[in-house]
């Protein structure tokens, strides 16, 4: 039985490492999008998509390395983030639109 555990542990470590690197990549891309994109709607789109996936992958990496009870708790947190992050972004975008902030359309002068 210990031979199987000896073979499975490196696999869990690899899955955890790939998930962690992927999550950090998406969190970085979301941060770049927040800093580089021009208006609130584009920024919300970039950060919501990237942060949801990035946080989910980082938490998945933690869940793979933890005990089963902690892994279940982390899975519930991932589900909570998947549900609430886009909902919160929608509420923020709707509030921004209702307060008079219009999305950028067309080309900017710097595009010429």
Residue numbers of the chain with a pLDDT score lower than 50? none
What pLDDT was estimated at residue 105? 80
- Supply the pTM of this predicted model: 0.83
Q: How far apart are CA 109 and CA 49, in angstroms?
A: 28
Q: How far apart are CA 47 and CA 39, in angstroms?
A: 12
Q: In a 10 Å sphere around its CB, with 0-12 CB exposed, 13-18 middle and 19+ buried, how is residue 34 labelled? A: middle
Q: What is the pLDDT of residues 82-106, one digit of tens each?
A: 999 999 999 999 999 999 988 888 7
Q: How far apart are CA 65 and CA 28, in angstroms?
A: 23
Residue ranges per domain, the chain? 2-100
Three-state DSSP class for 101?
coil
Identify the residue whose tokens are 């962690």. 20
């Amino acid at each position: 039985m210990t031979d199987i555990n000896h073979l499975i542990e490196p696999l869990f470590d690899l899955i955890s490492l790939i998930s962690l690197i992927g999550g950090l990549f998406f969190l970085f891309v979301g941060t770049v999008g927040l800093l580089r994109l021009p208006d609130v709607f584009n920024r919300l789109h970039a950060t919501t998509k990237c942060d949801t996936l990035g946080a989910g992958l980082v938490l998945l990496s933690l869940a793979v390395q933890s005990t089963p009870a902690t892994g279940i708790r982390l899975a519930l947190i991932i589900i909570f983030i998947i549900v609430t992050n886009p909902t919160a972004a929608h509420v923020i975008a709707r509030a921004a639109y209702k307060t008079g902030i219009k999305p950028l359309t067309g080309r900017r002068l710097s595009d010429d």
